[in-house]
Amino acid sequence: MMGKHAPIWDKDAECMPRPQLEKLQLERLKNVVARVTATVPFYRDLYAQAGVSSDDIQSLDDIAKLPFTYKQDLRNHYPFGMFAVPVNDLKEIHATSGTTGKMTVTGYTARDMYIWAETMARVYTAGGTTVDDMIHNAYGYGLFTGGLGFHIGAERIGAAVIPVSGGLTRRQVEIMRDFGSTILVCTPSYALVLAEAAAAMGIDLRTETKLRAGFFGAEPWTDLMREDIEERMGLEAFDIYGLAEIIGPGVSVECPYHNGLHIAEDHFYPEVIDPETGEPLGYGQLGELVFTTLTKEGLPLVRYRTRDRTTLWPEQCPCGRTMVRMDKVLGRTDDMLIIRGVNVFPSQVEHVLLEFEELEPQYVIYVDRERDCLDALEVCVEASAEVCACGESVLNDLAKRIRNTMQETLYVSTAIRVVEPGSIERSGGKARRVVDRRMVFQQ
């Protein structure tokens, strides 16, 4: 592991004095508001209705005068209605899966692709990646931005990349060992799947591979999961953040100090707002993350509500970067479960589960509607093979202790089902942590 001395890809940008950075942000903010008003009918009508224009932006605080952009706006203008350039000016098109509705489509000009590669080069360099590394890319390729984003970043810094994508887990373990992979990039849940498969194959990733760092994102994960990944794989785990609508991966990344994720603020202007009122919140306050793309050409977005919950910190990091840092995402404002009047986030459930050494980091949360029309929570979680071998009474006692801890921590009664290792379906990408079965009851 590299300690705390990873290099910086672009010191002029990433270590820019705050007054200079804020001057640049204001200039770019005014430009992007003027440009979307001129080129995107949605924004022209939105700002006309709100009675605002780029002339009203005289300071960064004035961004609060502008209306928000929502994911539904992208769906309403599917596929290309939100683009600021003709489709034939695009060099690449990506889209989300559309599992919760219509796909949201994003497009990149040649300039956008250059910026994307640059921000991904910052990601890699923050974790000490160099031209001498071998990058095992297990993010999905295709319309999903993860695989291609990490690929072009590797090309930018000159490192070799193995474009494995997802799936065929046992073969991936062999490739990491045989090819001498030094950097792993994938979702945190799939990192644990790889570690689990390696253990089943009798391969110790800590001693039989050259892995030394990993970049994990695309889903919320806790510091306890980080410790588990690092222990099983013998690497230093870095959290990364991105979303397809803004650029893909490359929006922010941890440095070796692991005290927040540095946002590429010269390209993506961050805010945190109260998710209920929409009012801006100050630094150090937990709220919903909002982004404005300052340099995107193909799909510029102004005040896009991510629904992700986090906190922003402006202090300069000991690494030398001056960009605002964001805490690890704690979940989404729209994944909150209301169980008998109590607000519960999946990340809270995960935090409780990972405190029990007897458990494996594989779980599913089931939400049911009981006959009294009240919602109920059940958590299915895997125990270690050693614990399962101790018999039913031990498993029952473990379930009781978990249930009591959930009650004390979350203030909600939770049914706990402890199962054997391998019982919960694995995924080669994002893990499905919540299954809502309430509609089944209604039908």
Shared-domain flag, residues 310 and 347? no
Instruction: Measure the CA–CA gap between 304 and 77, rounded to whole angstroms.
Output: 15
pTM of the model: 0.84
Beta bridge partners of 261: 254, 326
Residue 399 is part of which domain span? Answer: 337-442
The per-residue pLDDT for 412 is 82
pLDDT of residue 159: 98
Q: Are residues 240 and 354 in the same domain?
A: no
Higher-confidence residue of 159 and 142: namely 159
Pair (264, 347) in one structural domain: no
Arithmetic mean of pLDDT, 403-429: 88
Which stretch of DSSP H or E encloses residue 223? helix 223-233
The answer on 379 and 233 residing in a single domain is no
Q: Which two tokens stand for residue 310?
A: 């986090």
Q: What angle do CA 53, 55, 61 make, to 5 degrees?
A: 90
Give me the pLDDT at residue 334, please: 76
Domain check: are 351 and 270 in the same one? no
Residue 344 maps to which CATH number? Answer: 3.30.300.30
The DSSP annotation for 364-421 comes to EEEEEE-TTS-EEEEEEEEEPHHHHTT-HHHHHHHHHHHHHHHHHHHSS-EEEEEE-T
Residue 253 CA to residue 328 CA, distance in Å, equals 10
User: C-alpha distances in angstroms, 231 versus 14, 132, 208, 227, 228?
Assistant: 31, 24, 14, 6, 5
Mean local confidence (pLDDT), 296-311? 97
Residue 54 above 50 pLDDT? yes
Condensed to tens digits (0 to 9), the pLDDT of residues 254-302 reads 999 999 999 999 999 999 999 999 999 999 999 999 999 999 999 999 9
Rg (CA), the chain: 22
- pLDDT tens sequence across 62-109: 999 999 999 999 999 999 999 999 999 999 999 986 544 578 999 999
Q: Give me the CATH number covering residue 282.
A: 3.40.50.12780
- Mean pLDDT over 202-219 rounds to 96
Number of H helices, E strands in the chain: 14, 20
What's 411-439 look like in SS3?
A: CCCEEEEEECCCCCCCCCCCCCCEEECHH
Q: Are residues 274 and 401 in the same domain?
A: no
Helix (H) or strand (E) segment spanning residue 254: strand 248-254
DSSP 62: G
Q: Which of 331, 349, 365 is the last residue of a domain?
A: 331
Cα-based distances in Å from 291 to 257, 266, 277, 425 = 24, 12, 17, 34
Do 73 and 161 lie in one domain? The reply is yes
Query: How far apart are alpha carbons 350 and 225 in whole angstroms?
Result: 9
pLDDT in tens, 311-358: 999 999 999 999 999 999 987 887 778 776 677 888 889 889 989 999
Residues 301 and 345 in one domain: no
77 Cβ contact partners less than 8 Å away, ≥ 6 residues apart: 42
pLDDT band at residue 442 under the 50/70/90 scheme: very low
The last residue of one of the domains, among 331, 364, 386, is 331
Structural tokens at position 372:
């009294």
Number of domains comprising the chain: 2
pLDDT band at 440 (very low <50, low <70, confident <90, very high): very low
52 is written with which tokens?
Answer: 């605002």
Q: Are residues 121 and 243 in the same domain?
A: yes
pLDDT at position 341 is 64
Tokens 């590429």 sit on residue: 264
d(CA 214, CA 235): 7
Which of 331, 360, 380 is where one domain is finished?
331
Helix, strand, coil % over all residues of the chain, rounded to 5:
35, 25, 40
Task: Compute the average pLDDT of residues 297-309.
Answer: 96
Amino acid, single-letter form, for residue 359: L
Who wins on pLDDT, 289 or 367?
Answer: 289
Regarding whether 96 and 74 lie in a shared domain, the answer is: yes
Write the DSSP assignment of 313-381 as a string of letters: E-SPPTTS--S-EEPPP--BTTS-EEETTEEE-HHHHHHHHTT-TTEEEEEEEEEEE-TTS-EEEEEEE
Q: What percent of the chain has pLDDT over 70?
A: 95
- Residue 77: alpha-carbon gap to chain centroid: 25
What would the pLDDT profile of 370-405 be if each residue is shown by its tens digit?
A: 765 567 899 999 999 999 999 999 999 999 999 999
**Is there a single domain that holds both residue 427 and residue 321?**
no
Residues 276 and 315 in one domain: yes
Is 38 exposed, middle or buried, given 0-12, 13-18 or 19+ CB atoms closer than 10 A? exposed
Q: Quote the pLDDT of residue 427.
A: 78
Note the Cα 127 to chain centre separation in Å.
17
pLDDT 10s digits, 111-137: 999 999 999 999 999 999 999 999 999
